[in-house]
Amino acid sequence: MPMEASEIESMIRDAMPDAQVAIEDLRGDGDHYAAHVLSPAFKGKSRVQQHQMVYQALQGKMGGELHALALQTGVPDDA
């Protein structure tokens, strides 16, 4: 079952309320997404840890119903 972009976005926002989230449906098939997530919570975290935080927000959907989510994470400039 593919996921809606809005569902991905709200799951990330629920877990990380101060995050800026942008989701892109790469192929328009509801199955291959890219997510850009900026959050002050990423400060001081390695890239692996940042991605793990997003995966945690997705509660196991990544690698399951969410087949492909290209992730880009970072700390906002003003944080």
**In this chain, which stretch among 6-14, 15-23, 36-44, 61-69 interacts with other proteins, using CB under 8 A?**
61-69
Q: Do 73 and 46 contact (CB within 8 A), yes or no? A: no
**The only residue of 29, 43, 47, 65 in contact with other proteins, by rule CB under 8 A:** 47
Per CB under 8 A, does 13 bind other proteins? no
Among 43, 63, 76, 79, binds other proteins (CB under 8 A): 63
Distance CA 44, CA 57 (A): 19
Rounded CA-CA distance 40/27 in Å is: 30
Q: What span, in angstroms and rounded, lies between the C-alpha atoms of 27 and 17?
A: 28
Residues within the interface to other proteins (CB under 8 A):
47-48, 51-52, 55, 60, 62-64, 68, 70-72
